[in-house]
C-alpha cells in the first residue's frame, strides 16, 4: 500500500500507532494491555434520530451536526484526562486510559462527560425536543487487543474483561456511571454509591491526577490500518458531507470469550484473523466499506456500508452476496447479520487529532435492530434491499416484529442461496421503440447464417438502455433460426465456464440428472474422435467426468487450449443448422469463458452460427480478450418522440397529461429504464421531480468515479441548473476550484460547453443526483450567493430573471424574496400560456408565503392564478382546490367569493358534477344579492355559466332562459367578454329547441373574442361554429372552424381543448369512412381527457370510438365502448348524451343483425320525445336506422320510416343525413325488389361526393352475426 501518512493517521487510534511503531505489528496479532476502559453511550440519540428521520434528509443532516457538536466536547474532556479514542460508534465512544492513575483519570473523565452532556441540553431540545444523557460503564483490567486482517489491519477488542465492560454499560440506567470492582477499589468511597443496586455508581466530582501523555510515535504507512473502502476518500483529503442512498449492514460474531479462556489470546487472534480476512475478501471484491468493528458481549460486530462513501450502482446486490459469504465462514464463531437500505448522511466527525467517517440515519438504526433478530448463521434483510437487488435469493419470511421507535412492524426475510436474476424493468412488457437498426442488423446476420456464413455481434448498452428488451425482440425475430440465450451472473463471476454450463446443456440436450451419460452417448455417436477429451468437454458443461490418460498426460498450460478445441469441434459436428448463441451480461464473464468465446468466434465464416455477446461498456474488462466483433451495436439514447410513444403505450389505461409526459421524457435523458422508473414513481403518487432510488444508485456510481474534489465541484455546479453562464461558476465553486479547462475535461462525462460559453449538464438526472447529495446548509448558502449575484448584475432590470431569482431565493430560505419573485415569475408564465411552469411558480410562492406574513388578499390572488393555470394544464382537481382555498381567504369580500364559486362551478361542470356546479352558481348569486351594481358583471357571468351547465345537462329550455338573462345583463353593462360567452350558450340552447335557429350570436361572439384577443374564447366559439357547420353538411367550413379552434388551443397550452378539436375532426373522418384515422385521433383525445379526469369527454370519445369499431365490423369492441360511454353519461346525469348513445347502440344492433332489438331500442328513444328534449337533430338518424331495421325484417313499415327520415333531414338541412337516408332507401328498395328513384339516387351521390362520404358497412337482411345480447343498455 502507498503511504498517505497525513490524512490516514487521523483515522488510526493511538494504540495502533504504538503497535505499528514497535515493528512487531505484522507478527504479533494479540496483546494483553492493562488499563481502564470507558464505554459511554449517549442516551437520547436514538430518539433524536427517529424524530429527525421524519424530516427526511434534513433530519439526517441534523443528526450528524448534533453528534459532532456533542462528541467534540466529550472527546476534549477525555483527551484532557489522558484518554485515547479507540472507537466511535455513532452514539457511543470507547476510551482507553493507561499509565499512572488510569482508574482515577477514567472516572474523572466519565463524570465530567456526564456534566458536559447535561450542559448541551438546550441545543438538543431545540433541534429535536430531546434531553440527552449518558449511560457509562467503566472497567479496569487486562484487556485483550487484536490487530488482524489482510487488506487492512483492524483493531479488535475482546475477552472477558471487555464483555464485563459492555455488561456494565448495558446495566446502567439513564445518567448512571457504573464501575467494575477493580475500578471501584481505586476510587474514594465518597465518589461511589450503590443505592438502588449492587453495582457501584460514580457520583460527585473527581480531580484527575496529573498525567503526561507520551509523545505519539511517528505515523508511517498508516494506510494499512484504514479500511480499503475508505482509502480513496481519505487519501484525497477533506471528506465532504453528503446525502446518499446506501445499503448498511451489521455482522455480529459471538463465542470469542470461550476461545480466549480455553485456548489463549493467540488462538483467538488466529480465529479473528480468519474472520476479518474472510470478511475483507467478500467486501473488497464488491466495493463495500468496512466502517468499524464495535464491541459486544462475548464478541463484537462489524458495521458495513455499500454506497457510502462510494457506490458501485449494485450496492444492495453486492451487500447480500457478501453477507452470504461472511456468515458462512467456518471460523469457530457464531455469526449473524442484518441489512437495510435507504437515505443516509455521510461525512467526517472531527475532534482534535482524530477523524472518523460516519454514515448515519434511520436506515442504520433499523439495520442494527434487524441484525439483533437474526438467527445464528443467517442474514436477515428488509424489503427495500431485496427489491433493489438484481440477484434473486431463496427467501424465508420472518414473523413481523416491532422495534423501538417504529410504529409499524418490520418485515424481513431470511436470505438463502442465490437462485437467479431479476428481469430488467425495461425488458418486461414495454413495447420496443427506436431499435430498428439493431433489429435489421440481427436479421441480416441470421440471413447470412442461413447461408452458412456466421457472424460475431457485440451489443453494448449502459444500464437501463433496453438491452434485455432488445434481446427478447431478437429472440422473437429469429423465426428461421434456433435462439439460445444465457446470462452471466455476478454471483458466479469467478466460476470457470459458468455461462457455458447452461448454454452447452441446452445445445447438446444434456439432462439435469444424467448429463455425463448423455454427453458420452452424444460424443460417441457424433464425434467419437473426441472421446479422449470427454472430461474437458464435461468441464465446460459443468460435469465431472473421470479424465482419460490423454488428459492426464497434458501439461496444465495446454489443457485450456485442448478444451476449447474439443468443445468447438463438437459443436461443429452437432450444430449444422443455423443457430444464434447469445451470452448476456458478459461484463461478469469469467476469463476461461472469454477464451472459449474467442475460440467460438475465431472462424465463423464457415459456420452457420450467430454469436451475440451483450454487455455493459467495460473497456479493459474480461471481454477485451475476445476478437473484435463483425458488427458492433451500441445502444444510443432514445429520442423524445420514441420515448413519448413508449409512455403513451404504457399509460394507455391511466393516461398522464402531456406536460407531465414531456417532463418525464426530458428527465430520462433517453434512457428507457430511467423513464420507466420515473413513470412508476409518478404513478405511485410522487411528484414529477422525484428521484427513484434505482436511478439514483446507477448515476451515483458514475459520479463516484470522480475524485472527491471534482465530485464536490459537480455538486456545487448543480445549484446553477441544467445550463448556466460560465461566469456564475465563481459564485458556487468550492475553494480552490474554478471550472478551469482541466477541470472541465475531467467532468466531460457529465457536462459540456457551447459556443456562447455556457455550461450544460449532459443529463438532467445527473444534475439532480449531484444536487441531492449536497447538505442542505450548503445548498442554502450557494443559492443565496447566486441570487445575490444575479441581483448585482441586473440591477433594477429584474424582469428577465425573475424565474431564476424565484428558484434561488426559495431554496435559500429567503422567503420574502421567494414570494415576491415567484409571484412575478408566475404572472409572466401565465401571460404567455406556459401553464405548467406558472403552476410550479405559484405553488412555490404560496409555500414561501406560509413562512412570512403575507396579506390574505394577496395569497388569494396567487391561489386564484394557480387555479387558472392548473385548469389549463388539465389538473382540474388541483384547480378546484386552489379556488376553494382562495374563497376561504376571501370571506369578507363577496365579489372574490362569488368569482371563486363561479370558477369552481366551471371545474365541477368539466368533472361532470352538474348538481354541485349549479349549487355553486346559485350560491354565488346569493352572495352578490346584497350588493348594488358593483356585482352586476359577475352576476351576468354566473347566469351565463348556469346556462352552459343546463345545456350540458340537456335542459335546453332552462339553459335558454338563463342564457337570455346573461345576454340581457351583459348587454346593459357593455361587458363584451361575458356577452360573447352568453351568446354562444344561448345559440346552442335555441338550436336544440327551434328548427332553423340561426347562429348569428355565436358568429358575433367569435368576432368579439377575436377583437378582445381572448384566445380561449375564440377557440370555444370556433369549435361550436364547426359543430353547426357539421350538422348543416358544410363540412369544409366545419374543418376550417375546428382547425382554427385547435390552433387557438395550442397557443394557450390547453391540451384538453386541442383534444376537443381533434375529436370533432375525427367525427367528420368517421362519417367519411376514414375509421383508423378517426380512431387514432379519438384515442389520443381520450388519453388527454382521462389524464384530467374529464369524464364527460372520455364518454364522448368512447361513443365515437364505439361507432368506429361498429362500422369496421368489430362488434364486440364496439359493444364495450358504447356500453362504457352510456354508463358514464348516465352517472353524470347527462340524459341527452345517454339518448344520443342509445342511437349509436341501435346502429350497432342493426349492423350486427339484431334488427328487432334495434327497433325496440329506437322505439324507446322515440317514446322519450327527443324533439321535446332538444334532440330533434337526432330524429333523421333515428328514423333512418329504424326504417332500415324494419326493412331488413321484410316489413313494409321500413320504407315509411325512411321516407320520414328523408323529410326530417330536409327540414333540418342536414345534408349528410339526406345522403345516408337516400343510401338506406336504395338498400331497402333493393331488398324488396323495387328500384329507387334515379333522381333521388343521383342527389344522394352528389351530396356524398361533396361531403366525402365513403362506403359503409351495410346490414344483411335475415342474417345474424351470432350476437344475441340485448346490447349495451
Taking only the tens place, the pLDDT of each residue in 653-676 is 778 877 788 888 888 888 888 888
* Predicted local distance difference test score (pLDDT) of residue 743: 92
Element (H, E) at 356: strand 354-360
Residue 751's beta-bridge partner residues?
761
Report the CATH number at residue 202.
Answer: 3.30.70.1230
Report the CATH number at residue 454.
Answer: 3.40.50.300
Per-residue pLDDT at 904 exceeds 60: yes
Rounded to whole angstroms, the Cα distance separating 531 from 528 reads 5
Residue 217 binned pLDDT confidence (cut-offs 50, 70, 90): confident
Rounded to whole angstroms, the Cα distance separating 862 from 827 reads 9
182-191 average pLDDT score: 94
Residue 698 to residues 102, 314, 671, 693, Cα–Cα distance (Å) = 51, 8, 12, 9
Per-residue pLDDT at 175 exceeds 80: yes
Report the CATH number at residue 1164.
Answer: 1.25.40
Boundary-marking domain end, from 634, 668, 688? 634
Helices (H), 654-740: 658-668, 672-683, 693-703, 708-717, 729-732
* Residue 586 forms part of a structural domain: yes
Let me know whether 384 and 439 are in one domain: no
Cα-trace Rg, the chain: 39
Let me know whether 334 and 476 are in one domain: no
Residue 4 binned pLDDT confidence (cut-offs 50, 70, 90): very low
Let me know whether 303 and 447 are in one domain: no
Is the bond preceding residue 309 a cis peptide, omega within 30 degrees? yes
Let me know whether 525 and 581 are in one domain: yes
Let me know whether 308 and 440 are in one domain: no
* Predicted local distance difference test score (pLDDT) of residue 623: 87
Residue 46 binned pLDDT confidence (cut-offs 50, 70, 90): low
Residue 818 binned pLDDT confidence (cut-offs 50, 70, 90): very high
* Residue 902 forms part of a structural domain: no
Taking only the tens place, the pLDDT of each residue in 764-775 is 888 888 998 898
* Predicted local distance difference test score (pLDDT) of residue 869: 94
Most confident of 114-128, 645-659, 663-677, 887-901: 887-901
What are the grid coordinates assigned to 437, written together?
437498426
* Predicted local distance difference test score (pLDDT) of residue 55: 58
638-642 average pLDDT score: 89
* Predicted local distance difference test score (pLDDT) of residue 426: 44
Rounded to whole angstroms, the Cα distance separating 1035 from 287 reads 69
* Predicted local distance difference test score (pLDDT) of residue 1262: 63
Rounded to whole angstroms, the Cα distance separating 1219 from 1207 reads 12
Let me know whether 193 and 305 are in one domain: yes
Per-residue pLDDT at 582 exceeds 70: yes
Element (H, E) at 888: helix 876-888
Element (H, E) at 135: strand 133-148
Taking only the tens place, the pLDDT of each residue in 307-321 is 999 998 889 999 999
Rounded to whole angstroms, the Cα distance separating 580 from 445 reads 9
- pTM, to two decimals: 0.74
Taking only the tens place, the pLDDT of each residue in 1038-1094 is 999 999 999 998 888 888 889 999 999 999 999 899 999 999 999 889 988 888 788
- The number of folded domains in the chain is 3
* Predicted local distance difference test score (pLDDT) of residue 720: 94
Q: Which residue, chain included where needed, has cell 364495450?
A: 1120
* Residue 762 forms part of a structural domain: no
* Residue 843 forms part of a structural domain: no
Q: Which comes out higher in pLDDT, residue 716 or 74? A: 716
Taking only the tens place, the pLDDT of each residue in 921-963 is 999 999 999 998 888 889 998 998 899 898 888 888 898 999 8
* Predicted local distance difference test score (pLDDT) of residue 274: 97
* Predicted local distance difference test score (pLDDT) of residue 27: 61
Per-residue pLDDT at 1195 exceeds 70: no
Residue 1139 to residues 1136, 1165, 1167, 1179, 1198, Cα–Cα distance (Å) = 5, 7, 11, 11, 22
Per-residue pLDDT at 412 exceeds 90: yes
* Predicted local distance difference test score (pLDDT) of residue 122: 63
* Residue 237 forms part of a structural domain: yes
Let me know whether 375 and 524 are in one domain: no
Residue 155's beta-bridge partner residues?
147
* Predicted local distance difference test score (pLDDT) of residue 1213: 81
Let me know whether 370 and 234 are in one domain: yes
* Residue 919 forms part of a structural domain: no
For 1121-1138, b/e burial (b = at least 16 CB within 10 A) is bbbbbbbbbeebebbbbb
Q: Which residue, chain included where needed, has cell 467495460?
A: 618
272-298 average pLDDT score: 95
* Residue 400 forms part of a structural domain: no
Structural domain boundaries enclosing 50: 5-391
* Predicted local distance difference test score (pLDDT) of residue 1231: 84
Taking only the tens place, the pLDDT of each residue in 725-744 is 999 999 999 988 888 989 99
* Predicted local distance difference test score (pLDDT) of residue 25: 56
* Predicted local distance difference test score (pLDDT) of residue 2: 39
Let me know whether 380 and 466 are in one domain: no
* Predicted local distance difference test score (pLDDT) of residue 1269: 37
Tell me which of 485-494, 529-538, 867-876 is least confident.
485-494
Nearest to 438 by CA among 419, 421, 460, 417: 460
Residue 912 binned pLDDT confidence (cut-offs 50, 70, 90): confident
Rounded to whole angstroms, the Cα distance separating 444 from 452 reads 13
Boundary-marking domain end, from 367, 391, 415? 391
Rounded to whole angstroms, the Cα distance separating 703 from 697 reads 10
* Residue 1151 forms part of a structural domain: yes
Boundary-marking domain end, from 582, 601, 634? 634
* Predicted local distance difference test score (pLDDT) of residue 520: 95
Let me know whether 384 and 453 are in one domain: no
Over the chain, what is the mean pLDDT? 88
Residue 60 binned pLDDT confidence (cut-offs 50, 70, 90): low
Rounded to whole angstroms, the Cα distance separating 148 from 703 reads 33
* Predicted local distance difference test score (pLDDT) of residue 1271: 38
Let me know whether 369 and 458 are in one domain: no
Rounded to whole angstroms, the Cα distance separating 830 from 842 reads 10
Per-residue pLDDT at 1266 exceeds 60: no
Residue 519 binned pLDDT confidence (cut-offs 50, 70, 90): very high
692-721 average pLDDT score: 88
Per-residue pLDDT at 832 exceeds 80: yes
Taking only the tens place, the pLDDT of each residue in 354-380 is 888 988 888 998 999 999 999 999 999
Let me know whether 329 and 468 are in one domain: no
Amino acid at each position: 500500500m502507498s503511504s498517505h501518512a497525513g490524512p490516514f493517521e487521523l483515522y488510526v487510534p493511538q494504540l495502533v500507532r504504538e503497535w505499528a511503531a514497535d515493528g512487531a505489528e505484522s507478527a504479533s496479532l494479540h496483546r494483553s494491555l492493562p488499563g481502564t476502559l470507558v464505554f459511554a453511550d449517549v442516551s437520547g440519540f436514538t430518539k433524536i434520530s427517529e424524530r429527525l428521520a421524519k424530516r427526511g434528509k434534513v433530519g439526517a443532516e441534523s443528526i450528524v451536526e448534533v453528534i459532532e457538536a456533542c462528541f467534540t466536547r466529550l472527546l476534549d474532556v477525555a483527551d484532557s484526562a489522558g484518554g485515547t479514542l479507540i472507537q466511535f460508534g455513532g452514539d457511543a465512544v470507547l476510551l482507553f486510559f493507561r499509565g499512572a492513575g488510569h482508574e482515577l483519570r477514567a472516572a474523572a473523565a466519565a463524570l465530567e462527560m456526564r456534566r458536559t452532556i447535561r450542559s448541551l441540553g438546550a441545543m438538543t431540545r431545540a433541534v429535536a425536543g430531546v434531553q440527552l444523557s449518558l449511560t457509562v460503564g467503566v472497567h479496569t483490567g487486562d484487556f485483550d487487543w487484536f490487530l488482524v486482517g489482510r487488506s487492512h489491519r483492524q483493531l479488535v477488542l475482546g475477552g472477558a474483561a471487555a464483555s464485563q465492560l459492555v455488561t456494565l454499560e448495558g446495566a446502567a440506567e439513564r445518567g448512571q456511571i457504573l464501575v467494575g470492582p477493580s475500578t471501584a477499589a481505586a476510587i474514594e468511597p465518597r465518589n461511589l454509591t450503590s443505592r438502588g443496586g449492587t453495582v457501584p455508581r460514580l457520583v460527585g466530582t473527581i480531580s484527575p491526577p496529573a498525567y503526561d501523555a507520551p509523545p505519539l510515535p511517528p505515523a508511517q504507512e498508516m494506510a494499512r490500518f484504514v479500511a480499503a473502502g475508505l482509502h480513496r476518500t481519505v487519501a484525497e483529503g477533506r471528506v465532504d458531507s453528503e446525502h446518499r442512498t446506501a445499503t448498511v449492514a451489521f455482522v455480529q460474531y459471538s463465542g470469542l470469550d470461550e476461545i480466549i479462556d480455553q485456548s489463549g489470546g493467540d488462538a483467538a487472534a488466529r480465529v479473528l484473523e480468519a474472520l476479518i480476512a474472510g470478511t475483507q475478501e467478500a467486501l473488497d471484491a464488491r466495493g463495500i466499506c468496512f466502517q468499524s468493528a464495535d464491541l459486544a458481549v462475548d464478541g463484537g460486530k462489524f458495521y458495513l456500508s455499500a454506497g457510502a462513501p462510494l457506490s458501485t450502482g449494485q450496492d444492495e446486490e453486492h451487500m447480500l452476496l457478501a453477507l452470504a459469504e461472511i456468515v458462512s465462514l467456518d471460523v469457530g464463531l457464531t455469526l449473524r447479520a442484518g441489512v437495510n437500505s435507504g437515505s443516509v448522511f455521510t461525512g467526517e466527525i472531527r475532534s482534535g487529532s482524530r477523524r472518523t467517517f460516519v454514515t448515519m440515519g434511520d436506515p442504520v438504526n433499523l439495520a442494527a435492530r434487524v441484525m439483533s433478530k437474526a438467527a445464528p448463521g443467517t442474514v436477515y434483510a428488509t424489503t427495500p434491499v431485496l427489491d433493489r437487488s438484481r440477484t434473486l435469493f431463496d427467501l424465508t419470511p420472518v414473523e413481523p416484529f416491532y422495534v423501538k421507535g417504529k410504529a409499524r412492524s418490520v418485515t424481513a426475510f431470511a436470505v438463502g442461496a442465490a437462485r437467479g436474476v431479476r428481469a430488467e424493468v425495461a425488458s418486461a412488457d414495454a413495447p420496443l421503440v427506436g431499435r430498428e437498426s439493431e433489429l435489421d442488423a440481427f436479421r441480416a446476420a441470421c440471413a447470412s447464417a442461413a447461408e452458412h456464413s456466421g457472424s460475431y455481434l457485440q451489443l453494448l448498452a449502459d444500464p437501463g438502455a433496453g438491452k434485455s428488451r432488445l434481446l427478447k425482440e431478437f429472440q422473437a425475430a429469429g423465426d428461421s433460426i434456433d435462439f439460445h440465450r444465457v446470462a452471466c451472473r455476478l454471483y458466479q463471476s469467478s466460476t470457470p465456464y459458468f455461462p457455458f454450463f447452461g448454454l452447452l446443456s441446452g445445445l447438446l440436450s444434456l439432462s439435469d440428472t444424467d448429463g455425463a451419460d448423455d454427453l458420452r452417448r452424444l460424443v460417441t455417436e457424433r464425434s467419437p474422435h473426441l472421446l479422449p477429451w470427454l472430461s474437458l468437454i464435461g468441464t465446460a458443461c459443468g460435469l465431472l467426468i473421470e479424465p482419460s490418460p490423454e488428459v492426464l498426460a497434458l501439461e496444465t498450460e495446454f489443457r485450456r487450449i485442448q478444451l476449447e478445441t474439443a468443445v468447438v469441434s463438437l459443436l461443429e459436428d452437432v450444430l449444422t443448422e443455423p443457430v444464434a448463441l447469445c451470452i448476456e451480461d458478459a461484463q461478469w464473464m469469467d476469463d476461461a469463458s472469454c477464451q472459449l468465446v474467442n475460440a467460438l468466434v475465431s472462424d465463423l465464416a464457415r459456420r452457420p452460427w450467430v454469436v451475440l455477446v451483450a454487455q455493459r461498456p467495460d473497456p479493459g474488462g474480461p471481454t477485451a480478450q475476445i476478437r473484435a466483433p463483425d458488427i458492433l451495436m451500441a445502444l444510443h439514447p432514445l429520442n423524445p418522440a420514441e420515448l413519448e410513444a413508449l409512455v403513451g403505450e404504457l399509460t394507455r389505461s391511466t393516461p398522464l397529461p402531456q406536460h407531465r409526459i414531456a417532463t418525464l421524457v426530458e428527465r430520462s435523458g433517453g434512457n428507457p429504464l430511467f423513464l420507466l422508473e420515473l413513470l412508476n414513481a409518478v404513478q405511485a403518487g410522487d411528484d414529477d421531480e422525484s428521484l427513484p432510488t434505482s436511478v439514483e444508485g446507477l448515476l451515483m456510481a458514475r459520479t463516484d468515479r470522480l475524485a472527491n474534489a471534482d465530485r464536490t465541484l459537480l455538486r456545487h455546479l448543480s445549484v446553477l441548473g441544467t445550463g448556466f453562464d460560465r461566469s456564475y461558476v465563481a459564485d458556487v465553486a468550492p475553494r480552490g476550484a474554478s471550472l478551469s479547462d482541466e477541470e472541465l475535461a475531467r467532468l466531460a462525462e457529465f457536462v459540456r460547453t457551447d459556443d456562447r460559453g455556457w455550461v450544460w449538464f449532459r443529463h438532467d438526472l445527473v444534475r439532480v443526483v449531484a444536487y441531492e447529495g449536497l447538505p442542505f446548509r450548503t445548498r442554502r448558502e450557494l443559492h443565496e450567493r447566486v441570487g445575490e449575484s444575479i441581483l448585482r448584475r441586473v440591477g433594477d432590470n429584474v424582469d428577465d430573471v425573475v424565474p431564476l431569482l424565484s428558484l434561488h431565493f426559495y431554496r435559500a430560505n429567503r422567503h420574502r424574496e421567494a414570494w415576491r419573485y415567484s409571484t412575478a415569475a408566475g404572472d409572466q408564465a401565465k401571460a404567455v400560456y406556459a401553464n405548467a411552469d406558472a403552476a410550479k411558480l405559484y405553488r412555490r410562492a404560496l409555500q414561501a408565503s406560509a413562512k412570512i406574513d403575507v396579506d390574505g388578499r394577496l395569497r388569494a390572488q396567487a391561489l386564484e392564478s394557480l387555479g387558472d393555470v392548473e385548469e389549463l394544464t388539465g389538473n382540474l382537481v388541483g384547480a378546484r382546490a386552489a379556488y376553494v382555498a382562495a374563497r376561504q381567504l376571501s370571506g369578507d369580500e363577496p365579489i372574490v367569493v362569488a368569482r371563486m364559486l363561479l370558477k369552481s362551478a366551471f371545474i365541477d361542470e368539466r368533472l361532470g358534477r352538474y348538481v354541485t356546479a349549479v349549487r355553486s352558481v346559485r350560491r354565488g348569486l346569493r352572495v352578490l344579492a346584497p350588493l348594488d351594481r358593483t356585482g352586476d358583471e359577475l352576476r351576468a357571468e354566473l347566469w351565463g355559466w348556469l346556462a352552459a351547465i343546463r345545456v350540458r345537462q340537456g335542459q335546453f329550455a332552462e339553459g335558454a332562459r338563463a342564457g337570455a338573462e346573461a345576454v340581457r345583463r351583459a348587454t346593459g353593462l357593455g361587458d363584451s367578454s361575458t356577452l360573447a360567452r352568453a351568446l354562444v350558450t344561448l345559440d346552442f340552447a335555441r338550436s336544440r329547441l327551434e328548427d332553423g335557429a340561426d347562429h348569428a350570436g355565436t358568429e358575433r361572439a367569435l368576432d368579439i373574442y377575436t377583437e378582445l384577443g381572448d384566445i380561449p374564447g375564440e377557440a370555444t366559439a370556433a369549435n361550436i361554429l364547426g359543430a353547426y357547420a357539421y350538422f348543416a353538411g358544410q363540412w369544409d367550413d366545419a374543418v376550417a372552424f375546428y382547425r382554427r379552434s385547435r390552433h387557438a388551443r395550442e397557443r394557450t397550452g390547453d391540451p384538453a381543448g386541442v383534444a376537443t378539436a381533434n375529436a370533432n375532426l375525427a367525427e367528420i373522418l368517421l362519417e367519411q369512412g376514414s375509421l383508423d384515422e378517426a380512431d387514432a385521433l379519438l384515442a389520443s383525445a381520450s388519453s388527454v381527457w382521462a389524464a384530467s379526469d374529464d369524464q364527460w369527454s372520455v364518454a364522448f370519445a368512447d361513443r365515437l370510438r364505439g361507432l368506429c369499431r361498429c362500422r369496421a365490423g368489430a362488434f364486440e369492441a364496439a359493444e364495450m365502448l358504447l356500453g362504457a360511454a352510456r354508463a358514464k353519461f348516465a352517472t353524470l346525469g347527462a340524459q341527452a348524451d345517454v339518448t344520443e348513445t342509445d342511437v349509436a347502440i341501435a346502429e350497432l344492433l342493426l349492423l350486427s343483425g339484431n334488427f328487432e332489438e334495434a327497433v325496440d331500442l329506437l322505439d324507446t328513444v322515440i317514446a322519450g320525445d327527443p324533439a321535446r328534449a332538444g334532440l330533434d337533430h337526432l330524429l333523421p338518424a333515428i328514423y333512418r336506422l329504424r326504417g332500415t331495421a324494419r326493412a331488413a325484417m321484410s316489413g313494409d313499415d321500413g320504407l315509411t320510416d325512411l321516407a320520414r327520415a328523408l323529410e326530417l333531414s330536409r327540414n333540418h338541412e342536414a345534408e349528410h343525413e339526406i345522403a345516408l337516408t337516400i343510401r338506406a332507401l336504395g338498400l331497402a328498395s333493393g331488398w324488396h325488389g323495387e328500384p329507387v328513384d334515379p333522381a333521388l339516387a343521383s342527389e344522394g351521390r352528389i351530396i356524398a361526393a361533396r361531403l366525402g362520404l365513403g362506403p359503409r358497412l351495410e346490414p344483411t337482411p335475415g342474417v345474424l352475426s351470432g350476437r344475441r345480447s340485448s346490447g349495451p343498455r
